[in-house]
């Protein structure tokens, strides 16, 4: 039974309404806050708290704790593992959407102090006016918020060069489950005064505290970019091309992405406005982008030389270097619409795994063969990040089937175990949320899992924050 059904639910709702006002406590039209991005989990919350500042976040946790209610922090609600919605009806959603101010940009640091509800794309826009960049990019950047990105330690397409979210957090302000506020809003990289508390909250998926403000490390905006889309005979050739470009061009490689022809076909068929720029289609594609702040570097020329070598080796059949910002944006859209194309194709099973870079192509090939044995005709759409070995290994049912039937658990199990056996991770960048807790218990060292449970018990002994996420309730 959720607190909403319990006798205390009504009085908690009244107390929150009184403390937060009508803009800060919603009990009507809350369905969207209770439904996850993939539409797989939906619970009507007791209400949605929309605090305007840190004090109000603290008040929500204090009141919820005293009433024994569970609270789920929510940013843009783009979690792909059901981490941002309640696990049962009658729980509270704590949305950071009203705390969306970019408080300060220090161009000399360079750093930015922001509230947790700032949308990533809004930060990008504001920084570009000042020739600064926050080099974290992902398909959900128009919705995902800084607090959610930190809480999931998001990766995205530029992680190999610029780090994941945790690598770019200098300082944090966090409200603890009992309502106390930890002020760790320091703007320095070097800060070894004991346990790395800020790291603890990065990737904790809202189970240990609510992130309210952050100081983020920025980078200068690149003054030039060179972006190419390449067609390769197979994934092994695409991976070789990626490795050769990395070796040759090192720190200039800003992003190195891959996708395959099945995903491209779905994107072109289902997503409006996409244009395929090459003459031919092939089995696998690479999107490579070089970026530099130094204007004197001949980026286009360097990229052309790298591509000529890959073509000579037979690993690239065809390619185009973007000649305008519009064309560059189209190359990126082709890659970024992979998830949307597959979503519009119908039912799918998503997996976010990582393997050592050198093992990627062989892992995809071997695992695909095993998946086809498990479910003949299963349609396999791997895409992702060549530079760090992260594969979004997504499946659709066979052409003549509307669903996976009862094969879904076996397919996912096979795939996750294959990633682990290859020396990788079954949960690369999206986190565990609610949907991968059982898998973590199965695949990870019991000592590691018990350490996580004891951390949770220590910081949140009453299980107020996100019960059922990362560790069992």
Task: Report CA-CA distances (Å) from 257 to 99, 197, 227, 241.
Answer: 33, 33, 11, 11
* 88-107: contacts with ligand FAD (CB under 6 A): 96
To the nearest whole angstrom, how small is the minimum distance from the Cβ of residue 47 to ligand FAD?
16
Q: Which of 9, 45, 76, 203 binds ligand FAD (CB under 6 A)?
A: 76
Q: Which residues, 6 or more positions from 147, have their beta carbon under 8 angstroms from its beta carbon? A: 73, 75, 96, 116, 117, 210, 211, 212, 214
- Do 187 and 109 form a contact (C-beta atoms < 8 A)? yes
**Nearer to ligand FAD by C-beta: 32 or 313?**
32
Q: Is 72 in the site for ligand FAD (CB under 6 A)?
A: yes
* 282-341: contacts with ligand FAD (CB under 6 A): 339
Task: Report CA-CA distances (Å) from 298 to 95, 249, 292.
Answer: 46, 12, 10
To the nearest whole angstrom, how small is the minimum distance from the Cβ of residue 208 to ligand FAD?
8
The DSSP symbol for 129 reads T
Q: Which of 24, 47, 155, 382 binds ligand FAD (CB under 6 A)?
A: 155
Please state, in angstroms and rounded to a whole number, the distance separating the CA atoms of residues 154 and 150: 7
To the nearest whole angstrom, how small is the minimum distance from the Cβ of residue 312 to ligand FAD?
32
Q: Is 171 in the site for ligand FAD (CB under 6 A)?
A: no
Q: Which residues, 6 or more positions from 275, have their beta carbon under 8 angstroms from its beta carbon? A: 330
To the nearest whole angstrom, how small is the minimum distance from the Cβ of residue 135 to ligand FAD?
13
Q: Is 387 in the site for ligand FAD (CB under 6 A)?
A: no
| Part in contact with ligand FAD (CB under 6 A); list of ranges 68-76, 292-300, 313-321, 441-449 | 68-76
Q: Is 84 in the site for ligand FAD (CB under 6 A)?
A: yes
- Do 289 and 225 form a contact (C-beta atoms < 8 A)? yes
* 131-150: contacts with ligand FAD (CB under 6 A): 138-140, 143-145, 147-149
Instruction: Give the count of beta carbons closer than 10 Å to the beta carbon of residue 350.
Output: 18
Q: Which residues, 6 or more positions from 432, have their beta carbon under 8 angstroms from its beta carbon? A: 81, 83, 205, 439, 440, 469, 470
Q: Is 389 in the site for ligand FAD (CB under 6 A)?
A: no
Q: Which of 58, 115, 152, 342 binds ligand FAD (CB under 6 A)?
A: 152
220: helix, strand or coil: strand
To the nearest whole angstrom, how small is the minimum distance from the Cβ of residue 215 to ligand FAD?
15
Q: What is the DSSP string of 419-458?
A: HHHTT-BSSSSS--TTTTHHHHHHHS-HHHHHHHHHHHHH
Q: Report the DSSP beta bridge partners of residue 396.
A: 379
| Residue 87: HSE in the Cβ half-sphere, 13 Å Cα cutoff | 21
**Nearer to ligand FAD by C-beta: 154 or 226?**
154
Please state, in angstroms and rounded to a whole number, the distance separating the CA atoms of residues 403 and 42: 20
Q: Is 381 in the site for ligand FAD (CB under 6 A)?
A: no
* 193-222: contacts with ligand FAD (CB under 6 A): 205-206, 210-211
| Part in contact with ligand FAD (CB under 6 A); list of ranges 74-82, 185-193, 273-281, 360-368 | 74-82
Q: Is 418 in the site for ligand FAD (CB under 6 A)?
A: no
Short-list 32, 58, 20, CA closest to 143: 32
Q: Which of 78, 227, 354, 396 binds ligand FAD (CB under 6 A)?
A: 78
Q: Site size for ligand FAD, by CB under 6 A?
A: 37
**Nearer to ligand FAD by C-beta: 74 or 412?**
74
To the nearest whole angstrom, how small is the minimum distance from the Cβ of residue 169 to ligand FAD?
12
Q: Is 468 in the site for ligand FAD (CB under 6 A)?
A: no
Q: Which spans of this chain sit near ligand FAD (rule: CB under 6 A)? A: 37, 72-80, 83-84, 96, 116, 138-140, 143-145, 147-149, 151-152, 154-156, 205-206, 210-211, 339, 429-430, 466, 469
């Amino acid at each position: 039974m959720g607190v909403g059904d319990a006798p205390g639910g009504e009085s908690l709702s009244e107390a929150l309404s009184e403390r937060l006002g009508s803009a800060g406590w919603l009990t009507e039209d809350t369905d969207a806050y209770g439904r996850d991005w993939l539409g797989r989990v939906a619970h009507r919350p007791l209400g949605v708290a929309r605090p305007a500042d840190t004090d109000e976040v603290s008040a929500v946790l204090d009141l919820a704790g005293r009433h024994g209610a569970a609270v789920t922090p929510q940013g843009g609600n783009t979690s792909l593992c059901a981490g941002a919605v309640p696990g049962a009806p009658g729980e509270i959603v704590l949305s950071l959407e009203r705390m969306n101010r970019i408080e300060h940009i220090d161009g000399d640091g360079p750093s930015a102090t922001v509230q947790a509800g700032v949308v990533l794309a809004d930060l990008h826009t504001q920084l570009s006016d000042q020739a600064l960049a926050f080099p974290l990019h992902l398909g959900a950047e128009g919705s995902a918020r800084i607090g959610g990105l930190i809480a999931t330690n998001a990766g995205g397409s530029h992680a190999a060069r610029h780090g994941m979210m945790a690598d770019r957090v200098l300082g944090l302000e966090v409200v603890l489950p009992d309502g106390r506020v930890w002020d760790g809003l320091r703007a320095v990289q070097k800060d070894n005064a004991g346990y790395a508390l800020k790291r603890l909250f990065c990737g904790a998926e809202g189970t240990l505290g609510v992130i309210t403000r952050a100081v983020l490390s920025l980078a200068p905006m690149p003054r030039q970019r060179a972006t190419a889309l390449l067609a390769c005979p197979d994934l092994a050739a695409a991976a070789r091309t990626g490795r050769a470009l990395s070796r040759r061009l090192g720190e200039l490689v800003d992003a190195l992405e891959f996708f395959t022809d099945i995903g491209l076909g779905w994107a072109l068929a289902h997503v409006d406005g996409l244009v395929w720029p090459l003459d031919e289609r092939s089995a696998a594609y690479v999107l490579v982008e070089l970026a530099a702040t130094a204007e004197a570097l001949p980026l286009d020329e360097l990229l052309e030389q790298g591509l000529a070598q890959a073509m000579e080796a037979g690993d690239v059949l065809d390619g185009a270097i973007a000649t305008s910002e519009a064309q560059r944006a189209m190359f990126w859209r082709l890659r970024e619409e992979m998830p949307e194309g597959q979503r519009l194709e119908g039912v799918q099973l998503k997996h976010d795994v990582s393997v050592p870079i050198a093992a990627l192509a062989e892992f995809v090939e071997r695992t695909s063969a095993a998946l086809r044995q498990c479910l003949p005709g299963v349609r396999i759409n791997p895409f992702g990040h060549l530079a760090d070995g992260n594969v979004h290994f997504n499946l659709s049912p066979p052409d003549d089937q509307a669903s996976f039937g009862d094969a879904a658990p076996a397919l996912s199990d096979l795939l996750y175990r294959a990633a682990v056996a290859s020396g990788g991770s079954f949960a690369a960048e999206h986190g565990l949320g609610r949907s991968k807790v059982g898998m973590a218990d199965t695949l990870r060292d019991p000592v590691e899992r018990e350490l996580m449970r004891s951390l949770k018990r220590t910081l949140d002994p009453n299980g107020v924050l996100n019960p059922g996420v990362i560790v069992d309730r």
